[in-house]
Amino acid sequence: MELFIRTEANETTASGHMTRCLSVAEAARKMGTVPVFIVAEEGSAVMPREKGFETVVLNRVFDDFDNEIPVMEDLISKRKIKTLLIDSYWVSKKYVSAMTTLTRTAYFDDLHDGIWDVNTLINYSVNAKKYPYEKEYKDAKLLLGCDYMPLRSEYNANLPAKIINKDVKKVLVVSGGSDEQHLLYGFTKRLKDHEGLEGITFTVITGRFNNDHDAIEGLAKEHFECGKLPQIRAYRNLPSLKEALLDTDICISAGGTTLYELAVTGTPGICCMIADNQRDNVEGFASQGLLEYAGDVRDEGFYDELYDKLGSLIDDLFRREKMSADLRRVVDGKGAARIAAAITDNKL
């Protein structure tokens, strides 16, 4: 059996959609299913091909889904596509409905911005069950909540309990695949203005589509040469954050998939919003006391709030210990396998 996956990864869409689809694809491959990716442009084919997946490039513009419908009709017929997982904020209801008339469909719905004509709907957000999905979808299969968080396979194993140190020596700062709001650069640029952080090493990891890496490396060099400032280590596009999360005392993160990686590793942290589509994630983690919330990076005074939250968390060992224990109860790392089994009718 083949599982076809329609998604993208570029500087505009970032890599989050592709990353979670790759997690589902890897889980499906372990079950004996053959995943095949469908993308619009060659640039989006890089990540799935790196993982050894067949990738069909449509040679179209990534955000023009409606005019892609005849192309997909032809592909579905030629390849005899039985199941299609769709993951993009650029798709329209017209497109999704057209696909559902042709094959069995599954769709990642992060935003709850309408009713989608699909066979399976997925929303793994910590806040997913606040929406009336059961009333809105009478016939579709619903995969809701953190049990369906499609983390990478390295998070499936039983991870060791997080060690919470009394003294904070390491802080990790991440923003996902891209960083259009320049969170990482904005944070590191202001490090020199804050006292009491001199003994801490800040590890800043830029994603595949982050254009600020060289500037951050420049700041790291300045801090190293000064000696008295907090030290900065800058890394570009690590294949996994797991080891960095297990090794750090605190993580500062944008509100994407990384929040669920904090959960499965039990890493205390501070979240913030860099795009509107992260609202459910940050509100859910903050309202349940799982992470501190520093606000929207686009708001005035954001960095002052972020540094205040960081200082408070550094000084509060009990808060970090409780946060770590509570986070570990949220995600078990098996969501990708559950999704793959549900949409391919396999058994776990």
Q: Is 159 domain-assigned?
A: no
Any idea what the CATH number is for the domain that residue 23 is in? 3.40.50.11190
Indicate whether 231 and 277 sit together in one domain: yes
- The pLDDT of residue 123 is 97
Any idea what the CATH number is for the domain that residue 263 is in? 3.40.50.2000
Count CA atoms within 13 Å of residue 103 on its CB side.
29
Indicate whether 13 and 145 sit together in one domain: yes
- The pLDDT of residue 348 is 58
Contact of 204 with 176, CB cutoff 8 Å: no
CA 199 to chain centre: 30
Contact of 323 with 291, CB cutoff 8 Å: yes
Indicate whether 103 and 218 sit together in one domain: no
- The SS3 of residue 2 is strand
Indicate whether 322 and 176 sit together in one domain: yes
Q: Is 238 domain-assigned?
A: yes
Q: Is 52 domain-assigned?
A: yes
Report the candidate in 343, 28, 335, 346 with the shortest Cα–Cα distance to residue 155.
335
Q: Is 158 domain-assigned?
A: no
Indicate whether 147 and 263 sit together in one domain: no
Indicate whether 74 and 36 sit together in one domain: yes
Indicate whether 6 and 123 sit together in one domain: yes
| 37, burial (CB in 10 Å: exposed 0-12, middle 13-18, buried 19+) | buried
Pairwise CA distance, residues 133 & 25, whole Å? 25
Indicate whether 11 and 94 sit together in one domain: yes
Lateral strand order in the sheet of 120-123 = 54-57, 34-39, 2-7, 83-87, 104-108, 120-123, 141-144
Q: Is 274 domain-assigned?
A: yes
Indicate whether 174 and 315 sit together in one domain: yes
Give the dihedral of Cα atoms 144, 148, 150, 153; nearest 10 deg.
180
Q: Is 77 domain-assigned?
A: yes
Place of tokens 């469908």: 38
Contact of 244 with 238, CB cutoff 8 Å: yes
- The pLDDT of residue 248 is 98
Indicate whether 110 and 216 sit together in one domain: no
Indicate whether 186 and 131 sit together in one domain: no
| 88, burial (CB in 10 Å: exposed 0-12, middle 13-18, buried 19+) | buried
Indicate whether 10 and 83 sit together in one domain: yes
Q: Is 66 domain-assigned?
A: yes
Q: Is 250 domain-assigned?
A: yes
Count of domains observed in the chain: 2
What range does the domain containing 177 cover? 170-328
Look at the pTM and tell me if it is higher than 0.85.
yes
Mean pLDDT by 10 residues, the chain (348 residues): 94 86 97 97 95 97 95 98 96 97 96 94 94 95 96 83 95 91 96 92 93 95 89 92 95 94 96 92 94 97 97 98 95 94 83
49 Ramachandran zone, left/alpha/beta (phi>0; psi -120 to 50): alpha
